[in-house]
Structure 1
């Protein structure tokens, strides 16, 4: 569990976070005494607009204050972390911080403290003569009917969809009855379920006594660390399968909150609980989409991904499915149109307009333009394919065997990925050489160009780019020696091509010998090969250059930022130079 934070005082943190919303959205104001974020009285406002007041405990950002702005809510009332605001805070928001002439809808999430305090404020607002309605959003299916009893479903990430639709309807001039009715209708057709790998930690508190074991995930865990329905193995595909079953299985009388017909349309919302990387959340979205289509024949008409209602640093995600039904409100006020309507709330991260959704179909085939690179022109630079395979394989196998040592070096002086990257590239090139259908022949230029394609597709990062540039230039250096008649790819031909490639590489990287990079092995090899035309002597020069890097201080690459230099100076060579010299040595030994 991640227990490190930049703030140790949670109360100070809440107030500064609320104030920040007035910095990122200048149409908002903050009543810091009562933790109310509200639309400024001088902000532009649609006529005949119902006011929407939401809120709840802090720690769920951007909910709820992040949903205040034009096209969404008018005010949000914050409590301390994971605790409901008081009825007095909410009363002030509903009566004194928003316009009340066209009515007020008070709409928190369905938690006992929130229902009591927001409900009490509702009665006070009514007693003050203000037309006021109350609704508590409950979309969670993590806890079934039997366990939740009279309390009902908890409110989690799917509530953002409800707030967005009613906010847009209010902005479009919907009456209080219409806005209130839409909240009920949307909630009735909404199901959500979350899963988390770990409990969350509140800033300023000690370490919790329990945690979720490694390799397990809690399905249905609440946004305040409440227990879920069960635990499962943290393997995404079966986890998603189980979650979708819990969301959509109509035969589960305890949790079946919506029915489904083949023609029904759905909106899919993926909510980050706060601690999942954007990369992983995107991968989760893809897995859910694929399973919805495969197992339920559902292709969502909208897919919305982001952080809408978090649980501090919660290492989990929530899935929400909204069944699209007729709102009965007429043109321009369907569920989809209301979801697509523009807003100025920083917490609503769904910028795709209706026209884009209407004009493009998810997974519709796209005709890809053919590569602008012309079909490879054959060359007369010839070399026996068996020789190419023998020589290259010897170097590649040496790189593959050296991976643990390269990785060990890079773990000390870099970020530990150099060995894996070299091995991945070597294995891919070896697979090309071993593939009978690859169509490799005695054309040395064509063979090198095929290898370039493998490098560009398989090797990433800085070293991948360097190798791709070098091998592209190597192919150009070979072609520069092409003639009308056959040109045997002798050592001299290769030496000239290697020299050309080194010179070309220098245009794109400032690395020079002495900078502690793979260039410390490459340049001595190229210079010596041109001078002696002896691959073994050239490979020995590369080894010497690599050995010399042990005493060098890095001036390029990630090694520049690694501390504890005195511990490895004189002991550890540059990993990239070492990996390259291993390849060159294997290649030379096979010539």
Structure 2
């Protein structure tokens, strides 16, 4: 049974309070509260670091990611809401905070390390592109270490990134601290990822503060093997075995060379050396975790003749208060990996504690305002000369976002069954931000500028995968605004997204509703009502459809539940259609 009891029940307040606690405990970091960014506030004069390491993801995984900021690990981390990716705007702000170093360090660049989740890949990718256009060198390393998702089930989306990501953070951070070159750090981080495998098991799902208690079919005598760190279902449920049998099963998932679906390390030789990490998902007592760690080490030696060069045990990548564990093995493919894992680090989340001298260092006043963090990478609105009927535009958009807001409970219900329950809330946040912008009187009649402002509002307020999709806009062409122009701009944004996601109709994503809507809009020369109907049919087609992308991939049979994102698209465009119809009646 899921416990719904929390000391702080407001999820938004909870995340902001947790972020604010970091500099209280570590005097070497500062916080951009508005963007939920934690970054190093000073560098020692002896530090040769010219490559910055950035990471981030949804809240709820602490100490990942914000507590890994500090000497020897991350330079900056950015947090989304609970279990949802930070928005491109937040990530761009984090890059802006780093870019100020470029004024002092010639050739400064950034290596991003993120986990393989659709929203993370898209949002970090979009922010990286904006930073690259502003002249900052940025590369992404995507970690996918979870063997709980085999090759067949992973499909297009591939394996999830879970606790092994922490070891990649440590290696890359130590290399950057030592002054290694950008390409060298990127290569080593990618090599570590290729030699990294993890798998988890949990005795129950977790409850996100502020959410209704979602369904949980895991019985009190069952354990779930391979469950994701966002409440995604695993690959197997079984009666709780004794510890020996459980660890035997998990190590088999990691190391069985005959399992074609999961033998991601390939052939393992007697000369291979490994590092072991036993991770607490948040709710396991240190006493029990110690017992599990011993069992893992014993079986590695007796069954696989592996004696780990290093053993790490603790809470590194949690799932709120998840009553579960994960096991990670890193094959030391390069002899220097161990050197970097052993290097000193001063962060709240790393095994080494803070040095007392840090409390006595003189801290410079650091301006943590959001605008200052983005100063070096400022946005410039590009006018198109395309004129809007502003009153009509505002009426139609208002109707669309209000309809989406009203649908939040329905969408959340669907996503609680097939995902992690945040889709409806995320869409509602974005819709409310757009509504506030429309009502503020800040919009003008230039189509391109107006859409850029709406995209920024969505970026600031909306996390997760859908946020990245809804915030993609393009400038218009040098012609009067027509329905075809809107279609062309949306299609261009969709093509841009394809660089970060292979989602197509039939993959059970919001594209199943968005694509037929846009195509019909174009084919009918702007018949919005026909396009809405096509989108509605597309969303309905996702009922019972096997997912190829997104977190639903890991759920299995979804029954008669439609894709929540596709439903969100339909609710929005239905509202737009009603707004247009009502405006026509008044006129």
TM-score tier after normalising by the smaller chain length: 0.5 to 0.7
Following TM superposition, the consecutive aligned residue runs of length 4 or more in structure 1 with deviations greater than 3 angstroms are 41-45
1:266 aligns with 2:274: yes
Residues 12 and 351 (structure 1 numbering): CA distance in 2 closer, same or farther, change over 3 Å? Answer: closer
Quote the residue 1:121 is aligned against. Answer: 127
Q: Equivalent of 2:308, from 278, 297, 300?
A: 300
Quote the residue 1:319 is aligned against. Answer: 327
1:150 aligns with 2:156: yes
1:95 positional shift: 2.7
Q: Give distance in 2, aligned partners of 1:350 and 1:27.
A: 15
- Check the 8 A contact 1:269/1:304 in 2, yes or no: yes
> 1:290-321 CA distances to partner (integer Å, 9 max, x unpaired)?
11111101111100001001000100000000
Quote the residue 1:342 is aligned against. Answer: 344
Task: Please list every run of 5 or more consecutive structure 1 residues that lacks an aligned counterpart in the other structure.
Answer: 328-333, 353-591
- Check the 8 A contact 1:36/1:76 in 2, yes or no: yes
> 1:13-33 CA distances to partner (integer Å, 9 max, x unpaired)?
101111111011001000000
Structure 1 residue matching 2:295: 3-state secondary structure: helix
Quote the residue 2:373 is aligned against. Answer: none
Q: Give distance in 1, aligned partners of 2:73 and 2:90.
A: 20
1:233 positional shift: 2.5
Q: Give distance in 1, aligned partners of 2:46 and 2:98.
A: 14
1:199 positional shift: 0.2
- Check the 8 A contact 1:232/1:239 in 2, yes or no: no
- Check the 8 A contact 1:27/1:43 in 2, yes or no: no
Q: Give distance in 1, aligned partners of 2:139 and 2:184.
A: 11
Structure 2 residue matching 1:264: 3-state secondary structure: coil
Structure 1 residue matching 2:136: 3-state secondary structure: coil
Structure with larger RCO (C-alpha < 8 A, sep 6+):
2
> 1:58-82 CA distances to partner (integer Å, 9 max, x unpaired)?
0000000011001000000110000
Task: Please list every run of 5 or more consecutive structure 2 residues that lacks an aligned counterpart in the other structure.
Answer: 355-587
Q: Give distance in 2, aligned partners of 1:224 and 1:312.
A: 9
1:43 positional shift: 6.0
Q: Give distance in 1, aligned partners of 2:129 and 2:268.
A: 37
Q: Give distance in 1, aligned partners of 2:202 and 2:162.
A: 13
- Check the 8 A contact 1:198/1:211 in 2, yes or no: no
1:192 positional shift: 0.2
Quote the residue 2:192 is aligned against. Answer: 186
> 1:68-106 CA distances to partner (integer Å, 9 max, x unpaired)?
001000000110000000011101111334534421011
Q: Give distance in 2, aligned partners of 1:45 and 1:61.
A: 30
Structure 2 residue matching 1:344: 3-state secondary structure: coil
- Check the 8 A contact 2:346/2:353 in 1, yes or no: no
- Check the 8 A contact 1:54/1:73 in 2, yes or no: yes
Kindly report which structure 2 residues correspond to 1:327-338, keeping only aligned pairs within 5 A, or say none.
Answer: 334-338=336-340
Quote the residue 2:357 is aligned against. Answer: none
- Check the 8 A contact 1:45/1:70 in 2, yes or no: no
- Check the 8 A contact 1:141/1:191 in 2, yes or no: yes
Quote the residue 2:247 is aligned against. Answer: 240
1:351 positional shift: 6.9
Q: Give distance in 1, aligned partners of 2:55 and 2:217.
A: 32
Residues 342 and 157 (structure 1 numbering): CA distance in 2 closer, same or farther, change over 3 Å? Answer: same
- Check the 8 A contact 2:55/2:112 in 1, yes or no: yes
- Check the 8 A contact 1:233/1:239 in 2, yes or no: no
Please tell me the root mean square deviation across aligned C-alpha atoms, in Å: 1.5
Quote the residue 1:74 is aligned against. Answer: 75
1:3 aligns with 2:11: no
> 1:201-222 CA distances to partner (integer Å, 9 max, x unpaired)?
1112222221411121111000
Quote the residue 2:52 is aligned against. Answer: 51
Quote the residue 1:164 is aligned against. Answer: 170
1:280 aligns with 2:279: no
- When normalised by structure 2's length, the TM-score is 0.58
Quote the residue 1:494 is aligned against. Answer: none
1:159 positional shift: 0.7
Structure 2 residue matching 1:150: 3-state secondary structure: coil
Q: Give distance in 1, aligned partners of 2:50 and 2:316.
A: 24
Residues 42 and 173 (structure 1 numbering): CA distance in 2 closer, same or farther, change over 3 Å? Answer: closer
Quote the residue 1:109 is aligned against. Answer: 115
Quote the residue 2:576 is aligned against. Answer: none
Kindly report which structure 2 residues correspond to 1:100-499, keeping only aligned pairs within 5 A, or say none.
Answer: 100=102, 101-235=107-241, 236-258=243-265, 259-326=267-334, 334-349=336-351
Q: Give distance in 2, aligned partners of 1:214 and 1:8.
A: 25
- Check the 8 A contact 2:55/2:77 in 1, yes or no: yes
Q: Give distance in 2, aligned partners of 1:203 and 1:154.
A: 24
Q: Give distance in 1, aligned partners of 2:157 and 2:31.
A: 32
Residues 45 and 18 (structure 1 numbering): CA distance in 2 closer, same or farther, change over 3 Å? Answer: farther
Q: Give distance in 1, aligned partners of 2:45 and 2:36.
A: 23
Greater Cα offset, 9-18 or 92-101: 92-101
Residues 347 and 148 (structure 1 numbering): CA distance in 2 closer, same or farther, change over 3 Å? Answer: same
Structure 1 residue matching 2:251: 3-state secondary structure: helix
Q: Give distance in 2, aligned partners of 1:82 and 1:25.
A: 24
Q: Which has the larger radius of gyration?
A: 1
Quote the residue 1:362 is aligned against. Answer: none
> 1:236-265 CA distances to partner (integer Å, 9 max, x unpaired)?
211110110010011111111113101111
Structure 2 residue matching 1:182: 3-state secondary structure: helix
Q: Give distance in 2, aligned partners of 1:2 and 1:319.
A: 25
Structure 2 residue matching 1:184: 3-state secondary structure: helix
Quote the residue 2:96 is aligned against. Answer: 95
Q: Give distance in 2, aligned partners of 1:48 and 1:106.
A: 15
- Check the 8 A contact 2:145/2:159 in 1, yes or no: yes
